[in-house]
A = this chain, B = another copy of it.
Amino acid sequence: MEVELKEMLHDLESLKQSLPDPSHRASIDKLRLRVEQLTSLEKSRPAPRLKVKDMSAEVVDSNPYSRLMALQRMGIVENYERIREFSVAIVGIGGVGSVAAEMLTRCGIGRLLLYDYDKVELANMNRLFFRPEQVNMTKTDAAVQTLSDINPDVVLESYTMNITTVQGFDTFVSSLKNKSFCPNKEGSGVDLVLSCVDNYEARMAVNQACNEMNQTWMESGVSEDAVSGHIQLLIPGETACFACAPPLVVASGIDERTLKREGVCAASLPTTMGVVAGLLVQNTLKFLLNFGQVSPYLGYNSLKDYFPTMEMKPNPQCSNVACLERQQEYIVAKPARDAALKAKMEAEALLVPECPLHAENEWSISVVDDSGLDSLDAASSDMEKRAAPDTLPEGLVRELPSADKAQELPTSEAPLTSNDDLEDLRRQLEALNS
């Protein structure tokens, strides 16, 4: 609008020069004043954030990445800036997908591919992200508008389409295969696919595409009563695919659509969806930047603040042909994989005594012998510090058993990994519950 106002000022000036009557010239001056006021009003609208060439760790208020680069100094992430090389596809830009997209955008992810066919409605305003002024825009367009304002460094690709149609599925697959962002990348053009959809058909479409492309993906979901949810990691051939262990309603032959009626909608809460999006993107960061443990499955029961975990092996009787092919490949590659793992472990065993866990020790944390401490562990305040595993600065005690120790206890949350057969796993679970 500033350009138009400037042109108007110029026109007014020309007109004034050509007018002989002083009263007319005074009228022009009055108009010129109005235009100048509008110009300053327009200029007071804030300027957008500019692109940043390199991620800097400098601690200044104007650095949008200082708090993220600090993850390196804290010893959490080895090379944070690698995040700019990664591409993540998000299918479904609703209550979970939109928040996941915003989190990845604020983390400075390299490239986001966004898929949705729906429009923003006022009925979506009980979840985070979309604003009332975006009502009637497509969710993908509204997301690109908001995300590019937040972080112009992220490459955003918007696909306004339904991936469950034949044409939509083809476009989906070819967009995932496009490698122009990172031509030397192995595999597909994306590092991870996040499924944030709200229906069975769309999940099966993501599952089909990822099985065909041997593409690792993460699934997420929130219950229709809004108070529980889950995330799940799916690696074709290695873990159960979505068709290996179909959801309960489908497994028992009930049509999903018979559960829905006119004038009835699912409940939803910004809290549950925000937590699920947070857990999903946290696991995405752990997967991409190689820190912590990526959860194979994590549930969230909000009524009891209970978080079940489990692992699911692929089903050798899976109905998905591409899944069976990936399973076969995974078995064939086992000897090579085991040898590589053994070599890596041996190399790491040699390195450990020579290489301190934290070369820089800016926080003056001293590593004390475990045996001299009451071994209690806690996440009790924002002042807790990460030292070497299971040690704390001298004089500090832990308030709760550490996650390691709790997971050693015989709880129902222990991952079940020994047997290959899904039926065996089910039988074990039944035995646990009896």
Contact = CB atoms under 8 A, between A and B. Distances in A.
Nearest to A308: B400
B379 A1 contact: no
Contacts of A351: none
Interface in A217-234: 221-230
A107 interface: yes
Interface in A112-140: 121-123, 125-128, 131-135
Interface in A341-388: 362-364, 374-386
A330 interface: no
Interface string A265-309: 111111110110111011101100001110100111111111111
Interface residues of A, number: 167
Nearest to A18: B24
B128 A128 contact: yes
Number of copies of chain A assembled together: 2
Interface stretch (A65-73, A168-176, A319-327): A65-73
Interface stretch (A159-167, A184-192, A255-263): A255-263
A183 interface: no
Contacts of A41: 1, 4
A76 B65 CA distance: 41
Nearest to A405: B433
Given A123-B61, A292-B303, A298-B305, A31 B8 contact: yes
Interface string A231-248: 000000000000001011
A252 B282 contact: no
Given A48-B133, A405-B433, A123 B64 contact: yes
Given A102-B128, A274-B274, A363-B259, A383 B200 contact: yes
Contacts of A392: 248
B125 A150 contact: yes
Contacts of A293: 303-305
A22 interface: no
A290 to B, nearest CB: 12
Interface in A52-77: 59-68, 70-71, 73-76
B34 A11 contact: yes
A423 interface: no
A7 B31 CA distance: 10
B225 A71 contact: yes
A426 interface: yes
Given A31-B12, A261-B362, A263-B59, A125 B275 contact: no
A409 B410 contact: yes
A413 interface: yes
Given A61-B123, A126-B107, A272-B278, A228 B406 contact: no
A411 interface: yes
A271 B103 contact: yes
Contacts of A396: 248-249, 251-252
Contacts of A410: 409
A64 B125 contact: yes
B429 A71 contact: no
27 contacts: A11-B34, A49-B135, A61-B121, A67-B267, A70-B266, A125-B151, A132-B149, A132-B150, A224-B383, A229-B379, A230-B380, A247-B382, A248-B384, A252-B396, A261-B362, A271-B279, A274-B274, A293-B305, A298-B305, A299-B380, A306-B406, A308-B406, A310-B399, A310-B400, A375-B434, A401-B433, A406-B412
Given A275-B279, A299-B378, 15 more contacts: A5-B38, A49-B125, A67-B127, A67-B226, A107-B270, A223-B385, A230-B379, A245-B380, A252-B395, A271-B279, A274-B278, A299-B379, A301-B403, A377-B433, A409-B412
